[in-house]
Amino acid sequence: MKILITGGCGFIGSNLAVFLNEKIRNAKIISVDNLSRKGSILNFKRLSKNKIKNFKLDISKINKFPKFDLVVHCAAEPAIEVSRKKIDEVFNSNLIGTFNVLKECAKRKADIIYLSSSRVYAIENLYNLKKKGSVKENFNVENFKSIYGFTKLSSELLIKEFSHLNKIKYLINRVALVSGPWQFGKEEQGFVSLWVWKHLNLLKLKYIGFGGTGKQVRDVLHILDLCELVLLQIKKIKKIHNKLLNVGGGSKNSLNLIQLTKLSSNITRNKMRIGSIKKTSSYDIPYFVSNIDYVKKLYKWSPKRDLKKIIADLHFWMKSNHSILKKYF
Ligand SMILES: NC(=O)c1ccc[n+]([C@@H]2O[C@H](COP(=O)([O-])OP(=O)(O)OC[C@H]3O[C@@H](n4cnc5c(N)ncnc54)[C@H](O)[C@@H]3O)[C@@H](O)[C@H]2O)c1
């Protein structure tokens, strides 16, 4: 079996590529990635070391894909704030890219596992949920959700249409925050890894939005827990398919920024004064925790690694590769 990973040199894609390559003996893993993300060149080198080939192509412009039987579609511009500023780029990579991947799936009768996002849920409805529990798959997706969220939701709809028309099997994972080694975090995306990096190097940090007090809440999933789930999904895709699933750390793995500061400070032994920006972006949300009951039941899977483990693994990776990573954070 040939498994294509789009965005295979990104944080999630590269971890998946290396993990699946090790775990599925009879599979050949290949990647398509245009290396547009800062840091993806390092992941590219990691794939090469593991003898995984990357085709440096842009999925929004592609006219010839390498052959595959199943695709794990990860390539996208994943930062929500970028989608406000670079609308053409985000629309092309995130939506036209999915369209091109799907046309190729139809041609090859290949199945698709899509990395969607919890940001498909409507922002104003999430505001009303504040501190009231977790978000299920049937939560409102109709109202305003950001250009990023729009491209992810539109991709989901397109996948369902192609599946119906071409008998392609699909799984849509609505993924919340994922973190762990090989994540090159930025303020607007991958902030858990950024937080640990800044603590380690005593670099300035700010609580942004909602009064600047650091009380926003998110659930976080360890990258290896995600890899283990995708492996199960690939193994069972003939039996379990055409499903939409929330995938995240869930309520047990949720925290606010103040708690993240404490964890980062404990592991790095560096104490920092965190700055503050009161103003809130219209794309930000005060609280999000995924309800993961469905995925847990369907695959008898649940996150094994807690928040301390996520921070500890990030810290170990950063300390062990410090001089190389300096250029990419
Ligand atoms: N990391 C998270 O917390 C998170 C949460 C929810 C959903 N997701 C989704 O998971 C997927 C992977 O996210 P990630 O965190 O690994 O992001 P990432 O930025 O690390 O990886 C994305 C990769 O795609 C590549 N890419 C971007 N546009 C491309 C294009 N047009 N053609 C070819 N390659 C292109 C980039 O170079 C990069 O290597 C994304 O689809 C994202 O929406 C991620």
Taking the CA of residue 92 as reference, the ligand 1 atom at the shortest distance is: 31
Domains belonging to the chain, first-starting first, are 2-179+222-248+291-303 (3.40.50.720)
Query: For residue 188, is pLDDT > 80?
Result: no
Query: For residue 131, is pLDDT > 70?
Result: no
Q: Which two three-digit tokens encode residue 115?
A: 């990395």
Ligand 1 centroid, distance to 34 Cα (angstroms):
11
The mean per-residue pLDDT over the stretch 247-251 comes to 98
Q: What is d(CA 164, CA 149) in angstroms, rounded to the nearest whole number?
A: 23
Q: Would the CB of 78 count as within 6 Å of ligand 1?
A: yes
Taking the CA of residue 37 as reference, the ligand 1 atom at the shortest distance is: 37
The mean per-residue pLDDT over the stretch 227-233 comes to 98
Ligand 1 centroid, distance to 270 Cα (angstroms):
31
Q: What is d(CA 121, CA 285) in angstroms, rounded to the nearest whole number?
A: 11
Q: Would the CB of 261 count as within 6 Å of ligand 1?
A: no
The set of long-range contacts for 88-96, using a CB threshold of 8 Å and a minimum separation of 24, is 90/147, 90/148, 90/151, 91/147, 91/151, 92/60, 93/36, 93/58, 93/59, 93/60, 94/148, 94/151, 94/152, 94/155, 95/151, 95/154, 95/155, 95/158, 96/60
Which has the closest alpha carbon to 114: 250, 43, 16, 225?
16
In this prediction, residue 231 has a pLDDT band, given cuts at 50, 70 and 90, of very high
What is the pLDDT at residue 130?
62
**3-class secondary structure, 211:** helix
198-217: pLDDT as tens digits: 999 999 999 999 999 999 99
Give the residues across from 208 on adjacent strands: 277
Query: Where do runs of H (alpha helix) occur along 250-306?
Result: 257-268, 293-299
The answer to whether 43 and 182 have CB atoms below 8 angstroms apart is yes
The mean per-residue pLDDT over the stretch 72-89 comes to 95
Average pLDDT over the chain reads 96
The mean per-residue pLDDT over the stretch 243-254 comes to 98
The mean per-residue pLDDT over the stretch 299-311 comes to 98
Question: What is the residue with the minimal CA distance to atom 34 of ligand 1?
Answer: 33
How many other CB atoms sit within 10 Å of the CB of residue 215?
A: 16
Q: Which two three-digit tokens encode residue 20?
A: 């699946």
The mean per-residue pLDDT over the stretch 301-320 comes to 98
Ligand 1 centroid, distance to 113 Cα (angstroms):
14
Ligand 1 mutation target, pool 18, 19, 37, most atoms within 8 A of CB:
37
Handedness of CA 100, 104, 109, 110 (dihedral sign): negative
What is the pLDDT at residue 129?
82
What is the pLDDT at residue 35?
97
Ligand 1 centroid, distance to 94 Cα (angstroms):
9
The mean per-residue pLDDT over the stretch 19-46 comes to 96
Ligand 1 centroid, distance to 1 Cα (angstroms):
24
* pTM across the whole model: 0.98
134-174: pLDDT as tens digits: 999 999 999 999 999 999 999 999 999 999 999 999 999 99
